[in-house]
Amino acid sequence: MTRPRPRQSAMSAAFANAVDLSALKRPAAPPAGSAPAAASGEPASVSPYVIDVDEAGFATNVIDLSANVLVIVDLWATWCEPCKQLSPLLEKLVIELNGAAVLAKVDVDANPRIAQAFQVQSIPTIVAVAMGQPVDAFSGAQPEPTLRKWLTSLLDALRDRLPGIAAAGAPAEPEPEPEDPRFVEAEDAIAAGDFTKAIAGYEAILAVEPLNSEAAAALGQVRFHARVTELPEDVVALADADPTDVTLQNNAADMQLAMGDQEGAFSRLIELVRRTAGDEKAAARQHLIELFALVGNDDPTVVAARRALAAALY
């Protein structure tokens, strides 16, 4: 059985720990002489559980509200095509929860302070907020079954901590399909920090099912995390100090991606491609393509980086 889930940003736990929403508890003062701002946090026409949020209403409609229910922050923009696919699905699923969660839609172009607070690198970015803090996040459009599983998992985990979930009568997760024991064993190995065993497990699945896309994606993620855990904390500084060391540049790009700096990671490797030749150029290009796959080829940051890579190659 497959076990779909949203593609989370690399090191999503580190991302959540790094996000500080305290600056948004007090909205920015409007320029002197400006007209009064429009009312913020008004329910959208879709449902009272789907609201448009700006900087003025962020404290009330995200931070304060998340003390009672799960708040899903949808960071989007009018020009973002994947946003047009993802937002309606999120609206539908949140409405079905009947008040256990609220979807807070944030136009990042109109509200740059909110995007900055969440350290948004690409859109759409979806952040789950509970008790005033981000608890999970992912980027990019996702299919409905994957989103439903993600929401259900969050609600189950937070049911005893957010009173509004139980009050809304949000249904518990339906009887799950039987788990594939091969995936369970690999995921248990990851939880135990045994990346070698997890890698072997996913490789064994692919040896029998070479077209198993879930195993292939999981293998790429585990290999990436295994590499990152072996890197020194100051690898980025070391690479900046010695731009001629190709291995350091690759390692620094891995660390930047793990910490959520997609653009920085891609730019570093594109510059490496630009100034190297032969086997070194080919290796840098291949490393960059592997990072593209981890983020997702439809991600706007990846699309832009692919264009820059083409320019660097030709």
Catalogue all structural domains in the chain, each as residue range(s) with its CATH number. 12-167 (3.40.30.10), 181-229 (no CATH), 235-313 (1.25.40)
- Residue 76: CB atoms within 10 A of its CB come to 22
What pLDDT is recorded for position 167? 82
Cα–Cα distance for residue pair 27/244, rounded to 1 Å: 45
- Residue 304: CB atoms within 10 A of its CB come to 14
Residue 160 sits at φ, ψ, to 5 deg, of: -85, -5
Question: What are 139's strand-pairing partners?
Answer: 125
Give the residue ranges of the chain where pLDDT is below 50: 1-18, 26-45, 170
What pLDDT is recorded for position 1? 37
Cα–Cα distance for residue pair 62/194, rounded to 1 Å: 37
What pLDDT is recorded for position 176? 65
Q: What residues contact 3, with CB distance under 8 A and at least 6 apart?
A: 179, 180, 183, 214
Nearest to 19 by CA among 182, 132, 111: 132
Place of tokens 């497990």: 201
Nearest to 72 by CA among 15, 137, 8, 121: 137
What is the distance of C-alpha 184 from the center of its chain? 23
User: Which residues are part of the catalytic machinery?
Assistant: 80, 83
List b or e across 155-188, with b for residues whose CB sees 16 or more CB atoms inside 10 angstroms.
beebeeebebbeebebeeeeeeeeebebbeebbe
**Residues 225, 189: contact at Cβ < 8 Å?**
no
What is the distance of C-alpha 75 from the center of its chain? 11
pLDDT one-digit tens code per residue, 5-50: 443 433 344 444 445 555 555 444 443 333 333 334 444 445 789 9
Cα–Cα distance for residue pair 206/224, rounded to 1 Å: 17
What pLDDT is recorded for position 7? 39
DSSP calls for 125-146: EEEEEETTEEEEEEES---HHH
* Helix intervals (H) in the chain: 12-18, 58, 81-96, 112-117, 144-158, 163-167, 181-191, 195-208, 213-229, 235-241, 246-258, 262-275, 278-295, 300-313
Cα–Cα distance for residue pair 85/75, rounded to 1 Å: 13
Nearest to 251 by CA among 308, 291, 298: 291
Cα–Cα distance for residue pair 191/186, rounded to 1 Å: 9
Residue 226 sits at φ, ψ, to 5 deg, of: -65, -40
pTM above 0.85? no
